[in-house]
């Protein structure tokens, strides 16, 4: 009996090791207040999604604008290599680990220019707020969006935000002169954000 249990544990352990490709590490979560635990759930869900076969298959099948000319296989490898291009000052990131620094936008302070944007209800379905404007290596979020998602326990939406912003951290953008929202939603950054959101939703429904 003992032998069987031991073999079972060993099998599980090796299975976990084999299927685990990447780790998500949240280095700091600034200004999240009572939403710290909500964010923790999102980090766990993001890691689960990134390690899933469905994520891999979906990235490989994805057609997107602004992919910097990479093939979809290369794009998948770029994500899994996790070489962050932008990290906060005096911080260090490790390749192969999704290193995250997140913070709440201070709309009544240093991030006042985001205030109007943050108060627009359209952000609730949107993940675009953050590093584009802040550029400090922290993935920043509107308080209104975080409060709203936490109030309805929409972990998937927060994961979508992290997925979107993390593609910026890896060096991708969604800029084009006279671009429309419709066009932006066809870009790699947007599509990855939506993909991780939808996969979290799907996983929690299973
Ligand atoms: Zn963006």
Annotate 107-167 with DSSP letters as a single string. Answer: TTTTTGGGHHHHHSGGGGG----SHHHH-SSSEEE-HHHHHHHHHTT-HHHHHHHHHHHHH
Range of the domain at 36: 21-205
pLDDT at 198: 97
Q: Residue 47: what pLDDT? A: 98
Question: How many angstroms separate the CA atoms of 78 and 198, rounded?
Answer: 21
Residue 1 lies in a domain: no
Q: Does residue 167 lie within any of the structural domains?
A: yes
In 10 A of CB 163, how many CB atoms? Answer: 28
- What pLDDT is recorded for position 39? 98
Ligand 1 center to 171 CA (angstroms): 11
Position 43 in a domain: yes
Residue 39 maps to a domain: yes
Q: Do the Cβ atoms of 59 and 191 come closer than 8 Å?
A: no
Question: Do the domain assignments include residue 197?
Answer: yes
Report CA(4)–ligand 1 centroid distance (Å). Answer: 51
Q: How far is the CA of 131 from the centre of ligand 1 (A)?
A: 7
Q: What is the pLDDT of residue 129?
A: 56
- Ligand 1 center to residue 90 CA distance, Å? 24
Tell me, what's the pLDDT at 206?
A: 78
Q: Could you tell me if residue 13 is inside a domain?
A: no
Q: Cα of 11 to ligand 1 centre, how many Å?
A: 41
Q: What is the pLDDT of residue 116?
A: 84
pLDDT of residue 95: 92
Is 123 part of a structural domain of the chain? Answer: yes
Separation of CA 134 and ligand 1 centre (Å): 11
How far does residue 190's CA lie from ligand 1's centre (Å)?
7
19 Cα: distance to centroid of ligand 1 (angstroms): 30
Q: How far is the CA of 133 from the centre of ligand 1 (A)?
A: 9
Taking the centre of ligand 1 as the mean of its atom positions, its distance from the CA of residue 36, in whole angstroms, is 23
Per-residue pLDDT of the chain (206 residues; tens, 9 = 90+): 566 656 655 555 555 545 568 999 999 999 999 999 999 999 999 999 999 999 999 999 999 999 999 999 999 999 999 999 988 989 999 999 999 999 999 999 998 988 888 887 665 555 555 555 456 889 999 898 899 999 999 999 999 999 999 999 999 999 899 888 899 999 999 999 999 999 999 998 87
* N-terminal to C-terminal alpha carbon distance within the chain: 33
Count of domains forming the chain:
1
**Domain presence at residue 62:** yes
pLDDT recorded at residue 125: 56
Q: How far apart are CA 170 and CA 81, in angstroms?
A: 10
- 60 closest CA partner among 78, 85, 44, 47: 78
**pLDDT value for 172:** 94
């Amino acid at each position: 009996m003992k032998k069987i249990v031991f073999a079972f544990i060993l099998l599980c352990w090796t299975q976990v090791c084999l299927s685990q490709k990447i780790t998500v590490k949240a280095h700091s979560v600034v200004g999240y207040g009572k939403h710290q635990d909500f964010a923790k759930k999102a980090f766990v869900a993001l890691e689960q999604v990134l390690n899933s076969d469905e994520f891999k298959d979906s990235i490989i099948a994805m057609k997107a604008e602004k992919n910097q000319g990479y093939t979809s296989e290369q794009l998948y490898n770029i994500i899994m290599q996790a070489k962050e291009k932008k990290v906060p000052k005096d911080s260090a990131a490790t390749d192969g680990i999704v290193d995250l620094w997140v913070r709440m936008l201070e709309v009544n302070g240093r991030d006042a220019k985001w205030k109007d944007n943050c108060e627009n209800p359209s952000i609730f379905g949107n993940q675009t707020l953050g590093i584009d404007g802040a550029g400090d290596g922290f993935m920043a979020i509107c308080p209104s969006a975080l409060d709203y998602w936490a109030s309805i326990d929409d972990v998937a939406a927060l994961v979508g935000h992290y997925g979107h912003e993390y593609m910026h951290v890896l060096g991708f953008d969604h800029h084009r002169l006279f671009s429309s929202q419709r066009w932006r939603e066809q870009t790699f950054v947007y599509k990855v954000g939506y993909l991780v959101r939808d996969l979290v939703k799907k996983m929690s429904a299973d």
